[in-house]
Amino acid sequence: MTDTATDTTTDGATTKPSVLFVCVHNAGRSQMATGWLRHLSGGAVEVRSAGSMPADQINPAAVEAMLEEGIDIRAEKPKVLTTEAVQASDVVVTMGCGDACPFYPGKRYEDWKLEDPAGQGVEAVRPIRDEIRTRILTLLTELGVQPVNA
């Protein structure tokens, strides 16, 4: 992967950088990160999320916190972590999935230590949401993608 937002393949086609966010339930942190990256990249980054033990639904407090920022993640559904999702991603960001996340050589891995919003009200989720936004802006810079909607 180069430091630019797009790579050129041997046939001249361009590809977007891709990021996979993984947490245990894929209901809070990873869903907020997915919402932020889609919003702040303006579609310049391919975004995926998954969980090692997906919940039945997204955390309502995470949904509410993101709606306060004008980002609607209500349509998202927790998804199970697959080998294919990891293989298809340039960057894998884990948020507490521990050893459940498969490792592949050549992938960039980051572990973001963030409080788990499970079972917390929106007041407790807001600082987590804001920390994720800060980390997403840093990630965009590292990927060579100019943030939009910032």
Dihedral pair phi/psi, residue 101, rounded to 5°: -90, 120
Q: Is residue 49 part of a domain?
A: yes
Give a yes or no: residue 94 inside a domain.
yes
CATH number assigned to the domain comprising residue 80: 3.40.50.2300
Per-residue pLDDT tens for 56-99?
Answer: 999 999 999 999 999 999 999 999 999 899 999 999 999 976 66
In a domain, 1, yes or no: no
Domain containing 111: what range? 26-143
Q: With 70 as the cut, is the pLDDT of residue 35 above it?
A: yes
Does 134 map to a domain? yes
Look at 10-14, 16-20, 49-53, 123-127 and tell me which has the smallest mean pLDDT.
Answer: 10-14
Determine the pLDDT at residue 149.
Answer: 77
Of 97, 125, 132, 140, the active-site residue reads: 97
Active-site residue (options: 24, 101, 125, 145): 101
For the ranges 2-16, 37-51, 75-89, 104-118, the lowest mean pLDDT is seen at 2-16
Q: How confident is the model at residue 101 (pLDDT cuts 50, 70, 90)?
A: low
Residue 7 predicted with pLDDT over 80: no
Find the catalytic residue in 19, 20, 23, 65. Answer: 23
User: Does 100 reside within a domain?
Assistant: yes
User: What is the pTM (predicted TM-score) of this model?
Assistant: 0.88
The answer to whether residue 105 is domain-embedded is yes
What is the SS3 assignment for 139? Answer: helix
State how many domains the chain has: 1
- pLDDT for 106-120, tens place per residue? 889 999 999 999 999
Task: Check residue 100 and give its pLDDT.
Answer: 65
Bridge partners, 11 (sequence order)? none
Distance CA 43, CA 16 (A): 9
Residue 148 lies in a domain: no
The CA-atom distances, in angstroms, between 103 and each of 91, 94, 128, 146 are: 11, 11, 26, 29
- CA distance readout (Å), 127 to 40, 100, 134: 18, 26, 11
User: Does the annotation mark 23 as catalytic?
Assistant: yes
101 is catalytic: yes
DSSP string, 22-80: EESSSSSHHHHHHHHHHHHHTTSSEEEEEESS--SS--HHHHHHHHHTT---TT----B
Report yes or no on 128 lying in a domain: yes
